[in-house]
A and B are shown apart, each in its own frame.
Chain A
């Protein structure tokens, strides 16, 4: 085993042969923590891999970093959730075309004691205003991720700039969703999270879902093939195959059938 490993590495180091050949036995997908941490990808990918023999390697980071990595060409497919940034990515020529894949939704989670009295509300903007009024701790991703961008949009709608209270009741973790949930759980803070990560999150402490089902909380995912014109190394054939599968009947059915605790997490809506 170790000998094999050594040989593989020598090959990879280019000591025995040249650069790896582009036979496209795998693709790299730049995606977000929400798709991975929720378990969705672990659930649907084996189907695609069995059908095509193409191994899907997922790098799960924030949407912002995923897009930057894709701009650098370090991925063949981009699967993220920030429509505006995705459209910009395609408009700038880094991506071929954007396709809707599915949506999930965000929820506002907070301590059971609920100092801002927002439980049961379906108005995210009013709820954030109440949090601001009571100066209750609020944990924000603060990492330019899709979730962070969505959160900032809702704050914008309240007319409040919470970053003025940065370091006081408004805490920017600069970390992923899970890490931010851990922080919120540790200090009984409000936090906006995607439902999928929340449901699969194991360390909830005193937190529970307080605000949900506001249509403004819907969270659209899109998939884009990284431009082979910008980066000739992109495995475009295999990447396109993955996109076709994901937005086709097989992928959409797989997404629909994924449930956690009996709840459907992602709602396919490819056109």
Chain B
């Protein structure tokens, strides 16, 4: 049996020798998750801000629903997206299953509730603080939305990073809708799952190390930004 130490050495070699296969996988992971987070931001931020500022019947229910969706199991999301994109599903004609686009869609479903819920939280907190002052300055409720979004920008970037963290580390959904196809839909997490199942711990470890590196970097950014957001009296609960 190979010792774990030798697996680890091999992993380090893979990372530092710039194994092209490995970096192609890392690049695809980043592309898919960044793209997913950008789309989630376009959907989640306006929705979150609207829920924070607008008052309408059913608003509380929507907020509870959105918060619940934050913890939705990725496998279930994967299954739902699979059923939608399958040739037997409603969007089967688009032929999107087993493409990076399918993985982006799954991650958007996973990340949008996070972005929306955190946006709602922070914008609502800010709206409460600004409400009288903005009204005193003659700013209408609708016109206050861009003001609030801009002033919450640091906390919002934190929300996006949190979403990115969930997207890039997620395996259950993307392996179902992406199919883990070599050179097409194979990303870091699905490769780790595959290589672990092959008992190929070196490549799995190398990717794991990179994933941990990304997670640490993202969390460091989140923590630095949270600190700034906290100085500004804004923090996610």
Contacts and interface: CB of A to CB of B under 8 A. Distances in A.
Interface of A: 1-2, 5-6, 8-9, 12-14, 19-20, 28, 33, 37, 42, 57-60, 69, 71-74, 175-179, 181-182, 185, 197, 200-206, 231, 233-234
Given A20-B94, A202-B201, A179 B196 contact: yes
B181 A59 contact: yes
B199 A178 contact: yes
27 contacts: A1-B27, A5-B31, A9-B100, A12-B96, A12-B99, A14-B94, A19-B93, A19-B95, A28-B179, A42-B182, A58-B182, A72-B89, A74-B82, A175-B197, A177-B197, A179-B196, A179-B197, A181-B199, A182-B197, A197-B198, A202-B198, A203-B2, A203-B199, A203-B201, A204-B199, A233-B87, A233-B93
Given A19-B94, A204-B1, A57 B197 contact: no
A70 B180 CA distance: 16
Contacts of A60: 180
Contacts of A37: 194, 197-198
Interface string B83-102: 00011110011111111110
Given A12-B100, A205-B1, A233-B93, 14 more contacts: A1-B27, A6-B35, A8-B100, A9-B35, A12-B99, A19-B93, A57-B98, A57-B181, A74-B86, A74-B87, A181-B199, A200-B198, A201-B198, A203-B199
A64 B89 CA distance: 20
A12 B101 contact: yes
A175 B141 CA distance: 53
A264 B185 CA distance: 30
B200 interface: yes
B214 to A, nearest CB: 17
Contacts, number: 97
A9 B87 CA distance: 19
Nearest to A181: B199
A6 B39 CA distance: 12
A181 B94 CA distance: 38
A118 B196 CA distance: 29
A111 to B, nearest CB: 13
A19 B99 CA distance: 13
A1 B86 CA distance: 28
Contacts of A200: 198
Interface in B88-140: 88-89, 92-101, 104
A204 B197 CA distance: 12
Contacts of B200: 202
Interface-centre pick from A28, A206, A234 (highest chain B CB count, 10 A):
A28
- Label chain B's interface by main secondary structure: loop
A13 B197 contact: no
A60 B35 CA distance: 26
A6 B82 CA distance: 22
A2 B95 contact: no
B62 interface: no
B122 to A, nearest CB: 29
Interface in B150-202: 179-182, 184, 194, 196-201
Nearest to A14: B94
Interface in B189-222: 194, 196-201
Nearest to A2: B31
A241 to B, nearest CB: 19
Contacts of A179: 196-197
Contact of A73 (B27, B86, B98, B181): B86
A20 B101 CA distance: 12
A176 B193 CA distance: 10
Nearest to A198: B199
Contacts of A9: 35, 100-101, 104
A73 B2 contact: no
A157 to B, nearest CB: 28
B192 to A, nearest CB: 12
B86 A28 contact: no
